[in-house]
Amino acid sequence: MTSDIASVSLPDGERIPKLGRGTWEMGEQPARRAAEIDALRCGIELGMTLIDTAEMYGNGATESLLGEALAGLRDQVFLVSKVYPHNASRRGVIAACEQSLKRLKTDRLDLYLLHWRGSVPLAETVAAFEALREAGKIRHWGVSNFDTDDMEELVAVPGGASCVTNQILYNVARRGPEFDLLPWLAGRKMPAMAYSPVDHARLPKRSPFDDIAGARGVSVFQVALAWVLQLPGVFAIPKAGRVEHVRDNHRALELRLEAEELAAIDGYFKPPRGKRAGNALSAALAAPVASMRTSTRTSTARVLNCSCDACAPSPAPRLRLACA
């Protein structure tokens, strides 16, 4: 899939937009539905044709919204959805995919992700993904919220090397993946998909972003998004439920931060120096934990980075987090 906006390559060389769309919490409020559909279609017109969703979002309501919004536009979109860990068995993945396709009103997904790691062996999930790919139900598959050791284990199972991306929490305030995960992915030409790229709009009240934004006549959130988009091998999926918000995000593609601006940002938002043990629920953070079925395998849930649209498991797993 090609676009007239900046793009990034999947391992097989396919180009996808560097700036896409997230959809968490969309489709859940009837009063917002028309505005959300307009926003989705506006993004497609602007070339932001990569759209990410999940069966978890609104218990399928978000996928249903997309099915309506993409009427007549499906072939213009690189469509991504995610499967729950408790559906990650061979039979479960295939059944969940069929339900997602039905809600999305399409015959295939461009990319299907394991939302986070659960108790099902990775080999079984990979086998299901490969069966779906051979059947033409999905074009690519990947994972979400995997740490480096998870990725190493994944690529060691039969077919695991076919993974094309890892969707992670990554933004200027949460730079942990820079320590070893992003280099690991880059070494395999596997781009990272950054969710919450402006940290749920919770940036500090005063930071170098304020000076940069003031000098350039843009918002601090556009600067924060531009920082993520400027990194090689990373593409971002901010959510925007209003047309004006979509246009604001799109303008971030026009910003090119200078070396002195990047240095000022690094001075305030320190790059990680190493990893330490941490609690995913407290360290990761963001959104309230949604009501949902969760995995019992706490050692590998890796919501390392998962405020992910409310998918932190309970009890909170222990894992290694990069420290500043």
Is beta strand 7-9 parallel, antiparallel or unpaired with respect to 15-17?
Answer: antiparallel
CB contact at 8 A, 122 and 90: no
Residue for token pair 């290694």: 320
Pairing of strands 318-323, 274-279: antiparallel
Which tokens belong to 9? 């390559």
Domain ranges of the chain: 7-204+219-261
CATH number of the domain located at residue range(s) 7-204+219-261 in this protein: 3.20.20.100
Residues counted in the chain: 324
Ramachandran quadrant class, 306 (left: phi over 0; alpha: psi -120 to 50; beta: rest): beta
Q: What's the Cα-to-Cα distance from 246 to each of 67, 80, 167, rounded to whole Å?
A: 19, 18, 21
In sequence order, the 6+-apart residues with CB closer than 8 A to the CB of 295 are 85, 86, 116, 117, 118, 119, 301, 313
- Dist CA 143 CA 93 (whole Å): 13
DSSP 79: E
Closest CA to 16 of 189, 160, 191, 146: 191
CA distance 276 to 60: 36
| Model pTM above 0.75 | yes
Instruction: Please give the pLDDT value at position 4.
Output: 62
> In tens digits, what is the pLDDT along the chain, a chain of 324 residues?
444 679 999 999 999 999 999 999 999 999 999 999 999 999 999 999 999 999 999 999 999 999 999 999 999 999 999 999 999 999 999 999 999 999 999 999 999 999 999 999 999 999 999 999 999 999 999 999 999 999 999 999 999 999 999 999 999 999 999 999 999 999 999 999 999 999 888 888 899 999 999 999 999 999 999 999 999 999 999 999 999 999 999 999 999 999 999 999 999 999 998 875 433 322 333 333 333 333 333 333 333 433 333 333 333 333 333 332
**212 vs 197: CA distance, rounded Å:** 18
Contact residues for 266 (Cβ-Cβ < 8 A; gap 6+): none
DSSP classification of residue 105: T
